[in-house]
Amino acid sequence: MVPSAKMKNWAEAMFYFHMAPPMYRKIFFVEQSLRVRTGESLLVYFRRTQSHMIPPDVEFWELPRDSDDVEIFGSIADGR
């Protein structure tokens, strides 16, 4: 099951990123949350299903709960 309240808040954050000045660096940083059945992270799911809402210059950073190794996905414009 997808946490709809979290998805709503993330979509709202994308709206604010759209309004931010172009010269600002836009970083969306989240704690990793994995779907047990598929192993897909919530961030990967959000990027896959809501890409139409994501500004091209937003970087996505994901931190696993048990590690300090941040995974940086880069922006949609970079194709990452």
Between CA 45 and CA 2 the distance in angstroms is: 9
Please state the rounded mean pLDDT for residues 18-35: 96
Judge if pTM exceeds 0.85.
yes
DSSP-derived letter for residue 36 is: T
Once rounded to an integer, what is the mean pLDDT over residues 18-41? 95
DSSP 4: H
Task: Give the start-to-end residue ranges of the domains of the chain.
Answer: 25-80
What's residue 23's pLDDT? 95
For residues 32-52, average pLDDT: 94
pLDDT of residue 51: 93
Torsion of CA 15, 20, 23, 25, to 10 degrees: -60
Higher pLDDT, 14 or 79: 14
Q: What is the longest distance spanned by two Cα atoms in the chain? A: 40
